Amino acid sequence: MITTLSGDTSRLLATVDFVKEQDTATLLPLLLPGLDGPELRALVEHCRFSHAALLVFPSDEAELEAMLTDCGLVGVTPRQPSVVVRERLAVRHRRRAAELDVGIVRRAVVGADGAHRMVEVFALTVPPGSDLDTVATRERERQHETHVGFDVVAPDPLVLRGLCATFARYGATPDGGGYNPHEDGTVFYFGAPAEAKGGYGRVELYVPGDHRDLLAAHLDEHRARQPAETLLRLLTGAWTTQALSTFAQLRVPDAMDGDRAVGVEDLAREVGARPRNLTTLLRYLAMLGAVTEGRDGFRLTGTGALLRDGAPGSMRALALMYGGPFYDSFAGLGHTVRTGQVAFEHHFGENHFDHFARDPLLAELFDQSMAAGAAMFDPVPAHPVLTAAAEASGGATVVDVAGGNGELLGRILTAHPRLRGVLLERPHAVEAARARLDEAGLGARCAFLAGDFADLPAGGDVYVLSRVLHDWDDERCREILRHCARAMPDHADLLVVERVLPSDGSVSLATAWDLHMMCNVGGRERRAEHYARLFADAGLTLVDRSPLPLDGHVLHVRKADPTTE
């Protein structure tokens, strides 16, 4: 072990000297050849050379401290767990992450320019006689974790996107990264271009805070360069659905805490699970960002908290639906693609509306799952059509067609106290909506009608079709829209809330829901121009559209002017 320690100490001393000698303005052009002028000045303004890093392999904590002292890296900064490097080592060497005791120690170094920087030491503990010796040998040979790091000065998303784009323009390639909850920091790794100088093949951008939204695109690009890994991750998507659904079904999120870690033994007792099996599930969910793992157990993240029962914006019902009936029916996707028959009907023997209506618990779950996407509705009450209706001198009436449990209509009536509402739905859904709006103190301003589209009441001022048309084929959509056109007075407006397929083929949730609707309902998502044709066929015209969260849109529709036809 003395020879090993000497080798690691020599590497560490070279790293200390490098950090002392370099500065941001001279190091960046070495790593990104060709970088000069305004772009170099912009990078120097927004990020600074902060550290160089390497991975060493002490047998224990005392040996690590001795190594640091020999290199003049004295201090009291404690060793912190390294989530990112531990996961990378686990994947690279096909080991369980729990077997790898990887920590980070940062010690200060003063550069020749007087700037204070760090040497970042990753330490994988390799006890005497451990089979981790082979891991240490390979890592010393290949230096995967050796890198130089830059701190992003202002963690603004636009700045971060610009930095990543500049790195890419000068040949750097995405090479992984991760979010470390122990430090609340996000790491973006890049592979330096082949012609880079300075002796470091990897570059890190470290950003304070949680930037997993931007990190996801960075990691996707990294995986795209590794097609086998990408395909394997895609093929395990079904596991993700079931893991999240099981997490919700067992009510584990309700037993967890977002501020402190909870031990697995305590969690298992509360939810009625086996500790070892629950641990396996939670570690998988940690990869997904639903929980984080620490020394004292697991802590719930903001993402995982959305699976709590009754939490604001809860998506628990959606997880149970996607992991339950819709999961079963998706096994028949091939049947739908081959024959055109709806997989849900092929599997359950009836369409999903009838199937859910016959089972009160399933019907309630379906209505709750529809409300689980309510974030899409947030801007709807502020739509100019509704604002203008609320300001009308005699008041106005909003007719919510197939309005589910009243989630959207309730938001509209709450935002505009002078509006009245009418909700048309199936009998069981009408009762659920009545109870919901009564509880919110809105029932006295709303009429409830049980019926079908043919029963649509005339004389309303604003009609709303929210996530209705995508349930049906074109002919049924025309029929529904004709019912709307007949009921609407000439002054009335129709607001259609749907996910709209992008015309340029860009990534959108609408594309995923297009597949879902085909498989489970026999419906489809559509492009804006497709909707415009359906409206025209029913004597209506598309006035404009505005975006909503979750890739939704509001399509503003009015009766066509017969004088222009």
Query: The domain that contains 521 carries what CATH number?
Result: 3.40.50.150
What would the mean pLDDT of 278-286 be, rounded to a whole number? Answer: 93
Q: Which residue type occupies 55?
A: L
* Amino acid letter for position 555: L
> Do 176 and 83 have their domain in common?
yes
* pLDDT of 346 higher than 50: yes
Confidence of residue 7 (pLDDT cuts 50, 70, 90): confident
Residue 1: the pLDDT is 34
Give the pLDDT mean for 113-123: 92
Q: How large a percentage of the chain has pLDDT more than 90?
A: 58
Query: What per-residue confidence (pLDDT) applies to 3?
Result: 38
Active-site residue, from 352, 470, 516, 553: 470
State the pLDDT at residue 321: 93
Q: Is 13 exposed, middle or buried (0-12, 13-18, 19+ CB in 10 A)?
A: middle
Residue 28 pLDDT > 60, yes or no? yes
| One domain for residues 219 and 73 | yes
Chosen domain end from 262, 283, 307: 307
Chain centroid to CA 136 = 35
| pLDDT the model gives residue 82 | 84
Q: Are residues 62 and 82 in the same domain?
A: yes
DSSP 294: E
Say which amino acid occupies 90.
A
Task: Indicate the range of 43-52, 193-202, 369-378 predicted with least confidence.
Answer: 369-378
Domain stop point among 280, 307, 334: 307
Inside any domain, residue 323: no
Q: Examine the domain organization and report whether 45 and 22 are in the same domain.
A: yes
Q: How far apart are CA 418 and CA 428, in angstroms?
A: 28
Q: Which residues, at least 6 apart from 44, have a Cβ–Cβ distance to it below 8 Å?
A: 24, 25, 28
Q: What CATH number did the domain enclosing 249 receive?
A: 1.10.10.10
Whether the predicted pLDDT of 77 surpasses 90: no
Number of structural domains, the chain? Answer: 3
Does 250 reside within a domain?
yes
Q: In terms of domains, do 104 and 125 share one?
A: yes
Give the chain's mean pLDDT.
89
| Whether the predicted pLDDT of 564 surpasses 60 | no
Residue 29: what residue type? P
User: Is residue 227 classed exposed, middle or buried when 0-12, 13-18 and 19+ CB atoms within 10 A define those classes?
Assistant: exposed
Q: Are residues 270 and 415 in the same domain?
A: no
Do both 216 and 275 map to the same domain?
A: no
Q: Domain containing 294: what range?
A: 236-307
3-state DSSP call for residue 176? strand
Answer with the one of 253, 273, 307 that is the final residue of a domain: 307
Whole-angstrom distance, CA of residue 191 vs CA of residue 328: 42
Task: Check whether residue 250 and residue 380 sit in a common domain.
Answer: no
Place 288 in a pLDDT band, splitting at 50, 70 and 90.
Answer: confident
How would residue 455 be classed by pLDDT, with cut points 50, 70 and 90?
Answer: very high
Q: Per-residue pLDDT for 4 more than 50?
A: no
Phi-psi region of 34 (alpha: psi -120 to 50; beta: other; left: phi over 0): left
From CA 497, how far away is CA 552, in angstroms rounded?
A: 7
pLDDT > 80? residue 227: no
Confidence of residue 374 (pLDDT cuts 50, 70, 90): low
Give yes or no: residues 179 and 217 share one domain: yes
88-94-99 Cα angle (round to 5):
80
Phi-psi region of 35 (alpha: psi -120 to 50; beta: other; left: phi over 0): beta
354 assigned to some structural domain: no
Q: Which CATH number goes with the domain that contains 101?
A: 3.10.180.10
In the chain, % of residues over pLDDT 70: 96
Least confident stretch, 75-84, 119-128, 220-229, 517-526:
220-229
Shared domain check, 409 and 265? no
CB neighbour list of residue 506: distance below 8 Å, 6 or more residues apart: none
pLDDT > 90? residue 445: yes
Residue 364 forms part of a structural domain: no
* 380 pLDDT more than 80: yes
- Are residues 193 and 278 both part of a single domain? no
Residue 318 lies in a domain: no
* pLDDT-based confidence at residue 496 (cuts at 50, 70, 90): very high
| Residue found by looking up tokens 């004597």 in the block | 539
End-to-end, the C-alpha distance of the chain in Å comes to: 89
Q: Is the pLDDT of residue 229 over 70?
A: no
Query: Is 314 inside a domain boundary?
Result: no
pLDDT band for position 358 (cuts 50, 70, 90): confident
Inside any domain, residue 348 = no
What is the total residue count of the chain?
565
The question of whether 470 is a catalytic residue gets the answer yes
SS3 of 179-241: EECCCCEEEEEEECCCCCCCCCCEEEEEEECCCHHHHHHHHHHHHHCCHHHHHHHHHCHHHHH
User: Is 369 contained in some domain?
Assistant: no
Question: Mean pLDDT throughout 62-82?
Answer: 87
Residues 29 and 61 in one domain: yes
Predicted confidence at residue 200, as pLDDT, reads 87
Residue 6 in this model has a pLDDT that exceeds 70: no
